[in-house]
Structure 1
Amino acid sequence: MTSPPYIPSVRARSLGRRLREAREAADIRVGAAAASLGWSQGKVSHIESGRNRPSERDVELLLDLYGVRRPQRDELLALAREVDRRGWWNDYTDVLHGPYVALEDAAHTVLGWAPQVVPGLLQTPEYATEIMRIAHTDDEDVERRVRARVQRQLLLTRPSSPASLHVVLSEQILHNPVGGPDVMRDQLYRLVSEAHRPNVTLQILETASGAHAGLEGMFIVLKFPAPDPDVAYVEGVHGVVYLESPQTVADCNVRFESLHKQALDSDASAELIKAVARSM
């Protein structure tokens, strides 16, 4: 039986980053580290990027090679043991791929620009079902994907440290009746309801706004507690891209700030959403 795909967590990313810093502090190149341990360069690189799950023994060997001493050594070994802790998404590896859900679940703030569809964190099950059916025809597969999406939404309501969500939506989303008028009307009222949460900010960028910073497409910025860096995420028909360079993430933050300033404020956005819902 094929083992389920590994979905790297923020803990894996954090461990990889700190191992890379330890290697660089020891002035050892990736190739030299790999040769010393009899590993491939890819194994070292994938551990450092969080794409591979390292064993505790692997981490011990790396720490020995880099000369890392206590208490930093103990901290990194403890983090290595935490990497294997299961998240809810591990039950959905048949329909969830890549690290996004694990990263999102660990973020303390999610910033998003949505030009085409309601963001997954705010979708009703019926709206999500219609979106899923565009690319997936198997009913059971669609149901699994919708259930996973509903599970994702719990990060906004979890009792301990719910994430903050700030989303700017294009007005055209409101007028695209995904699933028909009834499904769309319920979705619009769901947006109004979610916007009342203290940790949710929802704004609408009007169609008449003209040129804006989101013309190149959707993006999301995930913000984490220090010292983990922000991650930007963009998605297209042919796949997703994770942007982690400080300059690129900073650019996404600047773009979001521009969209936020150009969009209607929260109260005016809610009134617009309700007006569109009543017209259906």
Structure 2
Amino acid sequence: MAQVPSPTIRARRLRRELRRLRDRTGRTAEDVAKLLGWHRTKIIRFELGHSRVMPKDLPPLLDLYDASEEERESLTALLRQSRQKGWWSAYGDVLPDDYVGFEAEATSISAFESLYVPGLLQTEEYVRAIVKAGRSTADQDETDRRVAARLGRKALLSRDVPPRLWMVLDEAAVRRVVGGPKVMQAQIARLIEACGLPTVEIQILPFAAGAHAAMGGPFTLLDYSDPILDPTVVYLDNDSSTLLLEEERHVARYRLMFDHLMAKALDPDESAGFLARVADEY
């Protein structure tokens, strides 16, 4: 399966490029808004991603920023691509944030998970058990849509050039019985199978490792093919909120944290053996 450009990534690239062009002119956001007769917060909302750039808004911005013909063509294409629909748009009611859009074009995904198996490696039965546990009042249709949305993410792994996955899993994530012994047996088998894939590395952080750098909770680092155009994103998620971090200082902190986790965890070969022993317990 060929990789399709992510509108979420194109929208971020567009707002970053618009900020770069504004900085080049030496104008503040208020200066630009005043010159164009817009509300003073409109430019800020564009550049922070709080509102979308509309087709009618781009030409006056490019004129004011004295954009070159090449820049005009590039940003017009980005605007067009940013307004397209990703497959996940059909599940907007059950995928409330932008994470899937950021994940869709990542070339490398590094994640620490402390509570359950990461979504890209979950079996359908495991997904369904998690959804039912977390949405006890959901009807069958909502449950099915949430399951379908989570499983849809796994198409990433079928791309012509799939992303490189490096997962560090707390021992609790594979010890916690989700959906019953049979579901866990199949889930652990899926993890063991994934250990053999050339683009996947799995490390288990055993209880015996003690305290570690990520006691605060799970996180994911998303890297892209061009780190200048598309810098790394850190994603944090819990039951009540999600957060995307882009500032270099935050990214550097979580990158270092992930390095420490890898150093404390069992190496990939040891981790595969650990999973095999866990599988024998079911």
SS of the equivalent of 2:220 reads: strand
SS of the equivalent of 1:39 reads: coil
Distance 1:203 1:20 in 2: 39
Distance 2:214 2:152 in 1: 28
Aligned to 2:110: 111
CA 1:186–1:113 in 2, change beyond 3 Å: closer, same or farther? same
SS of the equivalent of 1:57 reads: coil
Distance 1:240 1:222 in 2: 15
Distance 1:224 1:104 in 2: 10
RMSD over equivalenced CA pairs, Å: 1.4
Q: State the Cα deviation string for residues 72-94 of structure 1 (Å, max 9, x = none).
A: 22211121121112211111112
Contact 1:8 1:53 in 2 (8 A): no
Contact 1:8 1:52 in 2 (8 A): no
CA 1:110–1:24 in 2, change beyond 3 Å: closer, same or farther? same
Farther-moved stretch of structure 1 (78-87 vs 145-154): 78-87
TM-score by length of 2: 0.93
Distance 1:41 1:220 in 2: 35
SS of the equivalent of 2:104 reads: helix
**1:203-222 alignment to 2 at 5 Å?**
203-222=203-222
Aligned to 2:225: 225
Aligned amino acid, residue 234 of structure 1: L
Distance 1:30 1:22 in 2: 11
Distance 1:109 1:45 in 2: 30
Farther-moved stretch of structure 1 (27-36 vs 123-132): 27-36
Q: State the Cα deviation string for residues 177-229 of structure 1 (Å, max 9, x = none).
A: 11111111111101111221111111100110012111111010111122211
Farther-moved stretch of structure 1 (51-60 vs 270-279): 51-60
Q: State the Cα deviation string for residues 51-102 of structure 1 (Å, max 9, x = none).
A: 4322233111111111112222221112112111221111111211111000
> What is the aligned length?
273
**1:124-203 alignment to 2 at 5 Å?**
124-136=123-135, 137-159=138-160, 161-203=161-203
> Post-superposition shift, 1:32?
1.6
Q: 2:267 aligns with which of 248, 265, 278?
A: 265
Aligned amino acid, residue 40 of structure 1: H
Aligned to 2:28: 29
Distance 1:62 1:231 in 2: 27
TM-score by length of 1: 0.94
Distance 2:159 2:42 in 1: 36
Distance 2:42 2:117 in 1: 38
Residue ranges of structure 1 left out of the alignment (5+ in a row): 1-6
Aligned to 1:91: 90
SS of the equivalent of 2:56 reads: helix
Distance 2:96 2:183 in 1: 27
Distance 1:154 1:103 in 2: 14
Aligned amino acid, residue 202 of structure 1: I
Contact 1:115 1:170 in 2 (8 A): yes
> Post-superposition shift, 1:30?
1.0
Contact 2:7 2:86 in 1 (8 A): no
Distance 1:40 1:132 in 2: 43
Aligned amino acid, residue 268 of structure 1: E
CA 1:102–1:10 in 2, change beyond 3 Å: closer, same or farther? same
Distance 1:43 1:131 in 2: 40
1:80 counterpart = 2:103: no
**1:238-277 alignment to 2 at 5 Å?**
238-277=240-279
> Post-superposition shift, 1:50?
3.0
Aligned amino acid, residue 231 of structure 1: V
SS of the equivalent of 1:166 reads: strand
Aligned amino acid, residue 267 of structure 2: D
SS of the equivalent of 1:71 reads: helix
Aligned amino acid, residue 28 of structure 2: R
Aligned to 2:3: none
Residue ranges of structure 2 left out of the alignment (5+ in a row): 1-5
Distance 1:13 1:250 in 2: 20
Aligned to 1:3: none
Contact 1:110 1:222 in 2 (8 A): yes
Q: Highest relative contact order (Cα 8 Å, sep 6+), 1 or 2?
A: 2
1:70 counterpart = 2:69: yes
% identical equivalent positions: 38
Distance 1:11 1:101 in 2: 14
Distance 1:176 1:78 in 2: 47
